[in-house]
Structure 1
Amino acid sequence: MRERRAPQRQNGRTKPGAAESKRVTLPRALSKLGYCSRTQAEKLIADGRVTVNGRTVLDSAAWIDLSSATIAVDGSDVAAEPMTYLMLNKPRGLVTTRHDPEGRPTVFDCLKDVDTPHLSPVGRLDKASEGLLLFTNDTVFAQALLDPVTHVTKTYHVQVDRVMEPDMLAEMAYGVRHDGELLKATAATLLRQGERNSWIEVELDEGRNRQIRRMLEALGTECLRLVRVAIGDLKLGDLPKGAVRALTEAELKALRRRAGMETTKRTR
């Protein structure tokens, strides 16, 4: 008879094994239910706003069984929400946050007609950047797309203030240093050029802060426009600026495959 292994203990608590796949930490449970991110959940728990089976839980490391536990926030039960996956053609001038302390317009101004709560952007585009931005309440999916290990590529079309020479494009692919940090594009190619400026296509498989703008700055080049046109196999296409649409089943399946996820979920 095969010996049954005892559950491992971690920091004085029982860590669930493979047979206990429904057991997760409380912040993870709130995240899996689509209520909020794990970081937001930890704050709710610390503030005493979360109960499990009627009892307040203040320990973010507590394990619960998702198949049987009743979780509530501020007295209201938390139920699993349908998973929602949206794409936005972000206009220039919007900040990627839900609430801006400076009162600037945000990407959520484009989602006013979307009634799904707890949507979050998958990554960011800075205020001056445009193009494809994903939103979802599926935190596992979002984390898989953003995980550096999965290397899901992002493609950008970039207008620069000069004729881009082949050796400069080669440098971007080879790697340039900015403020002591090595920044590298997966690929950099010329799309078209005029007498004084060029459009180039840049592909990244990592998401460092202002990476393309910093690479160009290191090469003495100014970025005039930056538009994200694809994430993995998902293309921005002809979606109008400021418009939002749901991902198709095929698009979602392709993204999940790119992110190394084995199963698919239905879109809303």
Structure 2
Amino acid sequence: MKGRRSPQKIREHIRPQAESAGKRVTLPRALSKLGYCSRTQAERLIAEGRVAIGDRIVTDPSTWVDLSAALIKVDGKEIIAEARIYLMLNKPRGLVTTRHDPEGRPTVYDCLTDFDVPHLSPVGRLDKASEGLLLFTNDTEFAQALLDPITHISKSYHVQIDQIADDDMLTAMTSGLRHDGELLRATAARKLREGDRNSWIEVELQEGRNRQIRRMLEALDVTCLRLVRVAIGGLELGDLAKGSVRVLSEDQLKDLRRKIGGSKAIRD
């Protein structure tokens, strides 16, 4: 794949996790902050009796721990804070957004073979037929904040449709359309260019509904030919080649953190 970095270069770009000295948090929060899993997954592990503080099994998810002192284990293995990493991928069409596909289809992780980072997960999804910008991180707090509807992070898409877009179509998309009983609405929609029989439109969303743009177009009896996500919260896909991966720069990461409410919104 294009855009690969050497393992040494990758290590140079992995950011160490912020220190948590003296920070008392609940046990699920602790596992999340250590980069091991999400809080929901942690609660399940705790309920199953798989989590221990020292040598004591803990089954109460409301248990408080001090991250600077507690020895936390899952299935008998000590959990050590991972270095945090933030990646952007230009997802090719035809890949599914999952680590292991039961049908044996190629996945987005086929593009990440140079990044051997445990618990590296996509931030949201793109369906198999969709392309473009997809973020990955092992920072679960950051990922949850980026996906939280209250942060109003916009996502921009370039969409090719099988007809010429007109003002009525674009207005309907921003006014709201019902599909399977659900009201779907774009924040903005505009025409980019047109050919003889099809056109490209740009659609901006702040919601995270499943297949939202495709469903809106279906409600208008319009066929989606291509769908490419080109930006998330101002972070643009730019010239990143198809199937290539890039580590987010410090400025890009800082800008995303600012837009989701700053570091306080992530750590508290």
TM-score (norm 2): 0.88
The alpha-carbon deviation at position 190 of structure 1 amounts to: 0.3
Name the residue aligned to 1:5: none
Check the 8 A contact 2:22/2:68 in 1, yes or no: no
For 1:97-176, list aligned pairs within 5 A.
Answer: 97-176=98-177
The alpha-carbon deviation at position 43 of structure 1 amounts to: 2.8
For 1:1-268, list aligned pairs within 5 A.
Answer: 22-262=23-263
Aligned AA for 2:242?
K
The alpha-carbon deviation at position 45 of structure 1 amounts to: 2.1
Question: Larger Cα Rg: Structure 1 or Structure 2?
Answer: 1
Name the residue aligned to 2:8: none
Higher relative contact order (CA 8 A, sep 6+): 2
The alpha-carbon deviation at position 106 of structure 1 amounts to: 1.2
The alpha-carbon deviation at position 264 of structure 1 amounts to: 11
The alpha-carbon deviation at position 48 of structure 1 amounts to: 2.5
- Unaligned runs of 5+ residues in structure 1 are 1-19
Name the residue aligned to 2:15: none
2:95 partner SS: coil
Aligned AA for 2:58?
V
Name the residue aligned to 1:6: none
2:31 partner SS: helix
Aligned AA for 1:190?
K
1:262 partner SS: helix
1:105 partner SS: coil
Bigger Cα displacement from structure 2, 58-67 vs 204-213: 58-67
- Unaligned runs of 5+ residues in structure 2 are 1-20
Check the 8 A contact 1:253/1:264 in 2, yes or no: no
Aligned AA for 1:203?
E
The alpha-carbon deviation at position 81 of structure 1 amounts to: 1.1
Check the 8 A contact 2:86/2:136 in 1, yes or no: yes
- Greater helix fraction, Structure 1 or Structure 2: 2
Alignment deviations for residues 189-234 of structure 1 (CA, whole Å, 9 cap, x no partner): 0000011100000000111010000000101101010000000110
The alpha-carbon deviation at position 158 of structure 1 amounts to: 0.3
Over the residues paired in the alignment, what is the CA RMSD in angstroms? 1.7
Aligned AA for 2:46?
I
TM-score (norm 1): 0.88
Alignment deviations for residues 67-98 of structure 1 (CA, whole Å, 9 cap, x no partner): 21110122221111111100001111111111
How far apart in 1 are the matches of 2:36 and 2:263? 23
Name the residue aligned to 2:5: none
Name the residue aligned to 1:12: none
Aligned AA for 1:113?
D
Alignment deviations for residues 95-136 of structure 1 (CA, whole Å, 9 cap, x no partner): 111112222211111111102111111001011100000001
1:149 partner SS: helix
1:214 partner SS: helix
Check the 8 A contact 2:22/2:67 in 1, yes or no: no
Q: How many correspondences in the alignment?
A: 246
Bigger Cα displacement from structure 2, 52-61 vs 124-133: 52-61
